[in-house]
Amino acid sequence: MKTIQKKTSKTRRSTKERKSEMKKISSWPESLKKVPFRFCSGCGHGLLHKIVAEIIDELGMREKTIGFAPVGCAVFAYDYFNFDIIEAPHGRPPAVATAIKRLLPDRLIFTYQGDGDLAAIGTAEIIHAAARGENFSVIFINNATYGMTGGQMAPTTLLGQKTTTTVKGREEKTTGYPIKVSELLSSLEGTSFICRTSIDTPKNVLSTKKAIKKAFQYQLDCKGFNLVEVLSPCPTVWWMSPEESLKWLKKKMMPVFPLGVIKDKYGSKQKT
């Protein structure tokens, strides 16, 4: 009994002492407004917004950043990010970003686009911006569907995937094959860094953050067009629970859209 009491008094520390020893591992980024997201539970957009905001804080670029929001569930980016956002709906972010980056070359410019916005409605804009080697960054959210409008087929919808416009599952005969945007754009000489990541696990969240930070750094170093494709869950129109959606993403999406660096003009071809 005596020994126990001695040990307790030795190891007991004040709350103040314990607090001072705690390592801060997370905080609210200044680049993100303190407002609730309107995304569904388990949606990847909220997590991605936080990652982007953290990176901008870490780069010290909050007052020099301009983001471009699309149509789709990310349309409300201007409500969430605490820096300038320009709304350029229907696939037009790469065209408007081109103009703004050329006018204000010292700004950190990025577009944030879903697969419907980027790979269907705005196919021409993204291809030509990449071919021109415009010096800005693209964050491409691939959730294999049109989330906002209720789950129609997107260009990235998998073969066999059921959507409201492919009720028996997508089949190549009538709707073609999924477009692999990252591989397609990496064939263009104007692109410098193209990478595909996912946010299904903590490890992959960290890899996503690393990849987007690298893309932003490439832009700041004037290395030309770069894009990070992020595989992201949309539990609501995949008709799944958030947990099931992460499993589906890994099991079904990843074999079709493998993760890793697809092109790095100034570095090596390695896994992120």
Residues making contact with ligand TPP (CB under 6 A):
70-74, 90, 114-117, 121, 141, 143, 145-149, 154
Nearest-CA neighbor of 245 among 209, 191, 237, 58?
237
Between residues 29 and 147, which has the closer beta carbon with respect to Mg ion? 147
Alpha-carbon distance of 47 to 32, in angstroms, equals 11
Between residues 119 and 148, which has the closer beta carbon with respect to ligand SF4? 148
Residue 70 in contact with ligand SF4, rule: CB under 6 A: no
Alpha-carbon distance of 131 to 22, in angstroms, equals 49
Q: Which stretches of the chain are DSSP H helices?
A: 2-11, 15-21, 44-59, 77-80, 93-103, 115-116, 123-132, 172-175, 181-186, 202-220, 235-238, 242-248, 254-256
Between residues 80 and 216, which has the closer beta carbon with respect to ligand SF4? 80
Nearest-CA neighbor of 130 among 74, 75, 194?
194
Phi, psi of 137 (to 5 degrees): -110, 145
Interacting residue ranges for Mg ion, rule: CB under 5 A: 114-115, 143, 147
Within residues 10-39, the interface with ligand SF4 by CB under 6 A covers 39
Among 51, 53, 148, 194, binds ligand SF4 (CB under 6 A): 148
Cβ at position 128, least distance to ligand SF4 in Å? 27
Cβ at position 197, least distance to ligand SF4 in Å? 17
Q: Are residues 178 and 256 in contact, defined by beta-carbon separation less than 8 angstroms?
A: yes
Cβ at position 20, least distance to Mg ion in Å? 45
Length of the chain: 272
Cβ at position 209, least distance to ligand SF4 in Å? 19
User: Which of ligand TPP, ligand SF4, Mg ion, none does residue 43 bind (CB under 5 to 8 Å by kind)?
Assistant: ligand SF4
Among 147, 155, 178, 224, binds ligand SF4 (CB under 6 A): 147
**How is residue 48 written in tokens?**
């991605």
The piece of 16-24, 142-150, 193-201, 212-220 that touches ligand SF4 (CB under 6 A) is: 142-150
Alpha-carbon distance of 47 to 24, in angstroms, equals 19
Cβ at position 143, least distance to ligand TPP in Å? 5
Cβ burial 95-113 (10 Å sphere, 16+ → b, else e): bbbbebbeeeeebbbbbbb
Residues at the site binding ligand SF4, with contacts judged by CB under 6 A:
39-40, 43, 45, 73, 143, 147-148, 234-237
